[in-house]
């Protein structure tokens, strides 16, 4: 019963009108020849695959789930394997990968929109392919030539898929505690022994081989995070031709029964002297894994953005059709037994919240993709480095702010459906359950907030924050003499000043009490997330104002959504600023035994 139509118009708006992506791509030698028709064609084909192949399997995957057959064998829901084969056949995994390894070399910008659509269609299914790209990035950076030769082309084609094996039963956030042991086989390989849990797509039947990226400890390695190394442990060892060879001794021990993403197998993985090879340097595994992790964190933001878009679309369709009650200002459809619930201000509040957060999420993730292309391909090293700093700054925001906003969006979408929202067949309750994991995995949202405030802002004395502030300032100065922009520029400037003051205050407080960072970090992330969205929404309003007379109603909607965002959502910062400033005392004074 639910449906999904890719929001191509809004994607084009963000890429070409808001971010002027074509102009920038021309400055990147790798993409200078790319034309807009190619991008459009790829997007349309991706939209078709998402809505026609992946989306129809979403509800099936939820109901059927995965099956553990014992002896390490896991099968996926009906249709998943075939859809993955079509995905590989069409070349989607290779879209933005390097041509050196069989990739199509298209911009990350484009791949990012493809992943939004695929996540809108079916997060659980996409997760079989999702970590392959992160594994690809990790091997591109740290793999030996031999590793690249044997494994990268298979990851790029999608023939083989990747996983991240970090968590153990006693350690998730605190990886320093991990125990998996890697003994030297004396032939350049290692024998890994241990048990990993919560391994997404750890075992399945969609690809012919699975490449596990596993954190473990070498004999005699230092305790804690400084003794962690990263290993590549394939399910099947490659034979002399690089094809699937002998079965390795890494096996699924069971799969989890979860709140959602039932279509994806979350596995306990037992390693019994499984053969693996070091990726990067010994004891530097965490740094190598963080290349994969940062990519995955951006990916998690995309998961929630995708699902939220589908939730919004379906709630909107329901609201338009559902006749219930009359407008408080008099019947709007007097010929019908009742008005559409679109007449009720609070239904509109819910839908506009979904719309403003989803379109804001599309803008920030597209911007991050643009920054990634700039970081990868810009000829000027300084520009590349600056892009990298900005990506580091927005990564925790994309991971946490989007997944939190999407959870609100999915819940509001469910609420718009009334009682029907609670019933499985309408689909929306699945979105609430599926997207709930996104606030947890790849670093909980609490960890993201610590990353933003502690590592990304305070650790470099606010340099990254000032870098972003400079971009906002340039925009504000450009708009300073435009009366039609005052309603946006005023609050944006005020919030920017508050963030700057708050950051300084927290830096001072943290000098006398390290707990002040953790006490403020979550509200701080909400405030900074809103600053980025407020900047993007002001820019979107600017574009819309310029084209308001074009006759295209799209710009009317964009401007109205910007105004709604500023009127009804941005004021959350008044709350979060107070909460961020309220300090650690009320959190820390109560003895843990007295809770």
Interface with a copy of itself in residues 178-197 (CB under 8 A): 197
Q: For the window 458-497, what string marks contact with a copy of itself as x by the rule CB under 8 A? A: ----------------------------------------
**Binding residue (CB under 8 A) for a copy of itself from 52, 173, 185, 461:** 173
DSSP codes of every residue in 484-529: GGHHHHHHHHHHHHHHHHHHHHHHHHHHH-THHHHHHHHHHHHHHH
**Contact between residue 207 and residue 158 where contact means Cβ atoms under 8 Å apart:** yes
State the minimum distance, in angstroms, from the CB of residue 544 to a copy of itself.
12
Stretch near a copy of itself under the rule CB under 8 A, chosen from 95-103, 333-341, 358-366, 386-394: 333-341
State which of residues 81, 284, 344, 466 lies at the interface with a copy of itself (CB under 8 A). 344
For a copy of itself, the binding residue among 81, 181, 284, 349 (CB under 8 A) is 349
Q: Are 559 and 548 in contact (CB under 8 A)?
A: yes
Q: How far apart are alpha carbons 268 and 10 in whole angstroms? A: 40
Q: Closest distance between a copy of itself and the C-beta of residue 182, in Å?
A: 20
Complex with a copy of itself: residue 373 or 429, whichever CB lies closer: 429
Q: How far is the CB of 408 from a copy of itself (least distance, A)?
A: 11
Work out how close the CB of 553 gets to a copy of itself at its nearest, in angstroms, rounded to a whole number: 5
**Contact between 455 and a copy of itself (CB under 8 A)?**
no
Q: Which residues pair with 270 in a beta bridge?
A: 195, 251
Beta pairing class for 160-165 and 209-216: parallel
* In the complex, least distance from residue 562 CB atom to a copy of itself, rounded to whole angstroms: 9
Residue whose C-alpha is closest to residue 228's, from 272, 178, 184: 178
Instruction: Examine the residue annotation and report whether 64 is marked as an active-site residue of this protein.
Output: no
Question: Per DSSP, what are the bridge partners of residue 182?
Answer: 192
Spatial separation of the C-alpha atoms in residues 101 and 29, rounded to whole Å: 19
By the 8 A CB rule, do 398 and 445 touch?
A: no
Q: Which stretch binds a copy of itself (CB under 8 A): 68-76, 185-193, 364-372, 441-449?
A: 441-449
Beta carbon of residue 322, minimum distance to a copy of itself (angstroms, whole number): 9
Which one of 37-45, 85-93, 134-142, 508-516 is the stretch in contact with a copy of itself (CB under 8 A)?
A: 508-516
Q: Does 511 bind a copy of itself (CB under 8 A)?
A: no
In the bound state with a copy of itself, the residue whose beta carbon lies nearer, of 208 and 346, is 346
Determine if 440 is a binding residue for a copy of itself (CB under 8 A).
yes
Q: Is the dihedral of CA 48, 49, 53, 59 positive or negative?
A: negative
In the numeric block, the tokens 């019994």 are attached to 272
Interface with a copy of itself, residue 253, by CB under 8 A: no
User: Is the separation of the CB atoms in 227 and 182 below 8 Å?
Assistant: no
Q: Binding to a copy of itself by residue 103, rule CB under 8 A?
A: no
Residue 269 Cβ vs a copy of itself, minimum distance, rounded to whole Å:
14
Subset of residues 391 to 420 that bind a copy of itself, contact rule: CB under 8 A:
407, 411, 414-415, 418-419
Q: Is 517 in the site for a copy of itself (CB under 8 A)?
A: yes
171 binds a copy of itself (CB under 8 A): yes
**436 is a site residue for a copy of itself (CB under 8 A):** yes
Nearest CA to 19 out of 471, 392, 404, 385 is that of: 471
Judged by CB under 8 A, the residue of 95, 214, 432, 476 near a copy of itself is: 432
Q: How far is 218 from 229, CA to CA, in rounded Å?
A: 7
Minimum CB distance to a copy of itself smaller for 206 or for 580? 580
Q: What are phi and psi of 221, to 5 degrees?
A: -65, 150
Pairing of strands 266-279, 250-255: antiparallel
Q: Are 182 and 228 in contact (CB under 8 A)?
A: no
Would you say 386 or 487 has its CB closer to a copy of itself? 487
Distances in whole angstroms, Cα of residue 95 to Cα of each of 113, 281, 350, 379? 11, 29, 36, 22
Among residues 290 and 554, whose Cβ is nearest to a copy of itself? Answer: 554
Candidate list 36, 514, 546, 550; residue touching a copy of itself; CB under 8 A: 514
Q: In the complex with a copy of itself, which residue's Cβ is closer, 334 or 337?
A: 337
Residue window 211-240: x/- pattern of binding to a copy of itself, with contact defined by CB under 8 A:
------------------------------
- Which of 44, 174, 380, 546 touches a copy of itself by CB under 8 A? 174
Q: Is 518 in the site for a copy of itself (CB under 8 A)?
A: yes
Count of residues in the chain? 595
* Closest approach of a copy of itself to the CB of residue 558, in Å: 10
Determine if 8 is a binding residue for a copy of itself (CB under 8 A): no
- Evaluate whether 218 touches 184 at the Cβ level (below 8 Å): yes
Minimum distance between the CB of residue 44 and a copy of itself, rounded to whole angstroms? 23
SS3 state at 168: strand
**Residue that the structure tokens 């939730």 belong to:** 311
**For residues 116 and 516, which CB has a smaller minimum distance to a copy of itself in the complex?**
516
Q: H helices of 259-380, where?
A: 285-321, 345-377
The least distance separating a copy of itself from the CB of residue 222, rounded to whole angstroms, comes to: 15
Close Cβ partners of 359 (under 8 Å, ≥ 6 residues apart): 10, 14, 540, 558, 561
The residue among 73 and 574 lying less far from a copy of itself, judged by its C-beta, is 574
Q: Would you say 156 or 343 has its CB closer to a copy of itself? A: 343
Q: Cβ closer to a copy of itself: 58 or 340?
A: 340
The stretch near a copy of itself (CB under 8 A) out of 18-26, 243-251, 456-464, 518-526 is 518-526
Backbone angles phi, psi at 274, to 5 degrees: -70, 140
Neighbouring CB atoms inside 10 A of 222's CB total: 12
172 forms part of the interface with a copy of itself (CB under 8 A):
yes
* Catalytic residue from among 82, 442, 478, 505: 442
Which one, 255 or 278, has the nearer CB to a copy of itself?
A: 255
17-22 long-range CB contacts below 8 Å, 24 or more apart?
17/543, 17/547, 18/363, 18/366, 18/536, 18/539, 18/540, 18/543, 19/366, 19/367, 19/370, 21/107, 21/109, 21/366, 21/370
Residue 195: CB minimum distance to a copy of itself, A: 15
Q: What is the set of active-site residues?
A: 442
């Amino acid at each position: 019963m639910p449906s999904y139509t890719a929001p191509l118009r809004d994607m084009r708006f963000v890429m070409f009108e808001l971010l002027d992506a074509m102009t920038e791509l021309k400055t990147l030698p790798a993409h200078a020849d790319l034309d807009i028709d190619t991008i459009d064609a790829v997007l349309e084909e991706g939209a078709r695959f998402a809505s026609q192949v992946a989306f129809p399997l979403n509800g099936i995957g939820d109901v059927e789930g995965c099956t553990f057959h014992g002896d390490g064998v896991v099968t996926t829901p009906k249709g998943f394997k075939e859809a993955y084969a079509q995905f590989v056949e069409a070349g989607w995994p290779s879209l933005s990968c390097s041509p050196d390894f069989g990739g199509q070399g298209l911009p990350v910008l484009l791949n990012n929109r493809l992943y939004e659509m695929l996540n809108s269609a079916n997060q659980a299914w996409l997760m079989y392919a999702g970590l392959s790209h992160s594994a690809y990035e990790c091997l591109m950076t740290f793999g030996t030539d031999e590793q690249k030769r044997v494994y990268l082309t298979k990851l790029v084609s999608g023939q083989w898929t990747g996983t991240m094996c970090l968590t153990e039963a006693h350690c998730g956030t605190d990886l320093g505690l991990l125990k998996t042991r890697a003994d030297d086989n004396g032939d350049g390989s290692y024998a890994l022994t241990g048990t990993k849990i919560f391994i997404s797509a750890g075992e399945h039947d969609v690809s012919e081989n699975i490449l596990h990226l596993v954190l473990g400890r070498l004999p005699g390695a230092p305790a804690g995070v400084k003794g962690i190394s990263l290993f590549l442990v394939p399910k099947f060892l490659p034979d002399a031709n690089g094809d699937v060879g002998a079965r390795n001794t890494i096996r699924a021990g069971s799969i989890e029964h979860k709140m959602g993403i039932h279509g994806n197998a979350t596995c306990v993985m037992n390693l019994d002297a499984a053969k693996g090879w070091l990726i990067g340097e010994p004891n530097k595994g965490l740094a190598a894994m963080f290349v994969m992790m940062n990519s995955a964190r951006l990916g998690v933001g995309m998961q929630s953005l995708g699902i939220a878009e589908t939730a919004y679309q379906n709630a909107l369709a329901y609201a338009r059709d559902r006749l219930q009650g009359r407008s408080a200002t008099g019947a709007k459809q007097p010929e019908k037994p009742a008005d559409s619930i679109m007449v009720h201000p609070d239904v509109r509040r819910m839908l506009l919240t979904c719309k403003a957060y989803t379109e804001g999420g599309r803008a920030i993730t597209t911007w991050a993709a643009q920054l990634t292309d700039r970081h990868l391909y810009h000829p000027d090293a300084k520009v590349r480095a600056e892009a990298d700093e900005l990506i580091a700054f927005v990564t925790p925001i994309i991971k946490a702010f989007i997944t939190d906003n999407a959870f609100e969006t999915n819940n509001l979408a469910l609420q718009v459906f009334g009682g029907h929202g609670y019933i499985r067949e309408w689909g929306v309750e699945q979105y609430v359950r599926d997207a709930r994991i996104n606030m947890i995995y790849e670093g909980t949202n609490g960890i993201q907030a610590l990353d933003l405030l502690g590592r990304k802002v305070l650790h470099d004395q606010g340099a990254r924050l000032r870098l972003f502030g400079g971009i906002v300032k340039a925009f504000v100065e450009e708009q300073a003499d435009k009366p039609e922009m005052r309603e946006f520029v005023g609050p944006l400037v005020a919030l920017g000043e508050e963030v700057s003051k708050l950051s300084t205050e927290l830096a001072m407080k943290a000098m006398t009490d390290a707990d002040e960072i953790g006490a403020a970090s979550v509200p701080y992330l909400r405030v900074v997330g809103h600053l980025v969205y407020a900047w993007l929404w002001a820019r979107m309003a600017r574009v819309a104002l310029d084209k308001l007379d074009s006759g295209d109603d799209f710009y009317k909607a964009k401007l109205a959504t910007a105004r709604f965002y500023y009127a009804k959502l941005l004021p959350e910062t008044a709350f979060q600023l107070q909460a961020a400033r309220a300090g650690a005392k009320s959190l820390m004074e109560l003895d843990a035994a007295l809770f």
